[in-house]
């Protein structure tokens, strides 16, 4: 059975199509055209979203939880609750992200997450799906560890990386690592060889170590500015490399708390519409009342939209649709370009083929937005209208 979706505009996201027609069969997009050029095909079910904008489903490549669930603790049967919450904010795919924890705890969590990833799309409900694991740690700098517990940080070795890889049954898609710690370069090279997106972060690296990491295979940077050696005009360090190297994409938390709006603007100008990636770094408290919430092995206090542990920022309660709207406000980016930073760019960064675009052959995962970027509906695998 073919379904054809229409609305007032579509962002592919590189192109804008007026009066789009998106034909979907068996969960995939079979054709994207415009009512301006052709009539809606007869015999298909037509779903009309009126004056709305169609955009690819958002992807969140750095998220620790939401709706009261922490991804390191949730049972596979609980994760759909997080998936539904994420879908209500336009997210159709995500990378559950670890926090540095005792190795056995991490491996148990990775085994559960691998189950959830392998379960795939097995139901009728509309939910964001876990597509791969992001290892945030344990290979982080003590100096820039943020709230990751110091006793859980480890020096990188290929053996340790392989143990995590095996626990996740090969579903590790991203690795945040500090390139300046001993052993990091070998692990960067090995992870890159296994098609993991190696992301520089939680790092006190100076410029040469950051450059060497890119030569070894690093391709991205994690929550730029946060948990990084600060930019100094005579000592640019890792941020100097991240902002100027076109081989690197980079992500940022645009909640107005982690990075000041003017610096978000600087970042977006530096990385541009092709390399800027939005993440939430959201924790279990997202979508919940203020209080005390789990983030991996630690308990975080949430008040006035701020998550803290011993006075340090500990993740966010940001949702991806809000991040997209914030980009349009902080940097005056068009909704189309802001959407790109939450869809195509993370898909390219993380090598997620079939995600992040509304083009022929892509999965029929999309979000129906108002002109202001409010989520009206989310469609996953052609379902949910």
Site for Zn ion, rule CB under 5 A = 136, 281
Toward Zn ion, which CB reaches closer, 136 or 204? 136
Toward Zn ion, which CB reaches closer, 86 or 379? 86
Asked if residue 130 has a cis previous peptide bond (ω within 30° of 0), the answer is no
Is the separation of the CB atoms in 36 and 29 below 8 Å? no
The rounded distance, in Å, linking the Cα atoms of 224 and 258 is 10
Q: How far is the CB of 113 from Zn ion (least distance, A)?
A: 15
The yes-or-no answer on residue 255 being catalytic is no
Strands (E), 57-171: 58-63, 65-66, 69-70, 91-96, 129-130, 133-136
Toward Zn ion, which CB reaches closer, 23 or 91? 91
The rounded distance, in Å, linking the Cα atoms of 97 and 117 is 13
Position with the least CB separation from Zn ion:
281
Q: How far is the CB of 317 from Zn ion (least distance, A)?
A: 13
Q: How far is the CB of 219 from Zn ion (least distance, A)?
A: 18
Q: How far is the CB of 281 from Zn ion (least distance, A)?
A: 4
* DSSP codes of every residue in 95-112: EEB-----HHHHHHHHHH
Q: Looking at residue 242, what DSSP letter applies? A: H
Toward Zn ion, which CB reaches closer, 29 or 71? 71
Which residue of the set 281, 301, 304, 321 is catalytic? 281
Is the separation of the CB atoms in 71 and 65 below 8 Å? yes
Q: How far is the CB of 235 from Zn ion (least distance, A)?
A: 26
Q: Looking at residue 57, what DSSP letter applies? A: P
According to DSSP, the β-strands at 91-96 and 58-63 are parallel
Toward Zn ion, which CB reaches closer, 179 or 373? 179
Cα–Cα distances (Å) from 131 to 115, 121, 128, 134, 375, in that order, read 11, 10, 9, 10, 22
Active site residues: 281
């Amino acid at each position: 059975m073919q379904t054809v979706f229409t609305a007032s505009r579509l962002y592919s996201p590189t192109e804008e199509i007026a009066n789009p027609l998106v034909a979907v069969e068996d969960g995939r997009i079979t054709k994207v055209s415009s009512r301006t050029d052709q009539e809606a095909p007869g015999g298909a079910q037509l779903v009309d979203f009126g004056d709305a904008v169609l955009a690819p489903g958002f992807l969140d490549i750095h998220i620790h939880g939401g709706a009261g669930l922490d991804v390191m603790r949730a049972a596979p049967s609980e994760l759909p609750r997080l998936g539904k919450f994420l879908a209500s904010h336009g997210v159709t795919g995500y990378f559950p992200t670890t926090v540095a924890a005792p190795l056995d705890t991490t491996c148990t969590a990775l085994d559960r997450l691998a189950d959830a990833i392998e379960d795939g799309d097995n139901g009728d409900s509309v939910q964001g799906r876990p597509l791969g694991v992001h290892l945030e740690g344990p290979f982080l700098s003590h100096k820039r560890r943020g709230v990751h517990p110091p006793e859980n940080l480890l020096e990188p070795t290929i053996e340790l990386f392989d143990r995590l890889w095996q626990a996740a049954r090969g579903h590790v898609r991203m690795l945040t690592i500090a390139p300046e710690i001993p052993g990091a370069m070998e692990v960067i090279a090995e992870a890159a060889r296994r098609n993991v997106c190696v992301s520089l972060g939680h790092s006190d690296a100076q410029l040469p170590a950051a450059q060497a990491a890119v030569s070894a295979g690093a391709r991205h940077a994690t929550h730029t500015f946060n948990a990084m050696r600060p930019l100094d005009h005579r000592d640019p360090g890792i941020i100097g490399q991240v902002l100027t190297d076109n081989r690197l994409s980079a992500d940022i938390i645009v909640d107005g708390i982690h990075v000041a709006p003017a610096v978000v603007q600087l970042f977006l100008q530096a990385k541009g519409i092709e390399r800027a990636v939005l993440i939430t770094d959201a924790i279990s408290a997202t979508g919940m009342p203020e209080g005390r919430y789990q983030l991996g092995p630690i308990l975080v206090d949430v008040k006035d939209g701020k998550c803290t542990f011993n006075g340090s920022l500990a993740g966010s309660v940001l949702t991806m649709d809000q991040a997209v709207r914030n980009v349009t406000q902080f940097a005056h980016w068009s909704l189309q370009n802001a959407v790109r930073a939450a869809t195509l760019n993370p898909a390219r960064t993380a090598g997620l083929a079939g995600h992040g675009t509304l083009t022929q052959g892509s999965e029929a995962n999309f979000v129906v937005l108002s002109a202001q970027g409010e989520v009206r509906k989310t469609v996953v695998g052609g379902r949910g209208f």
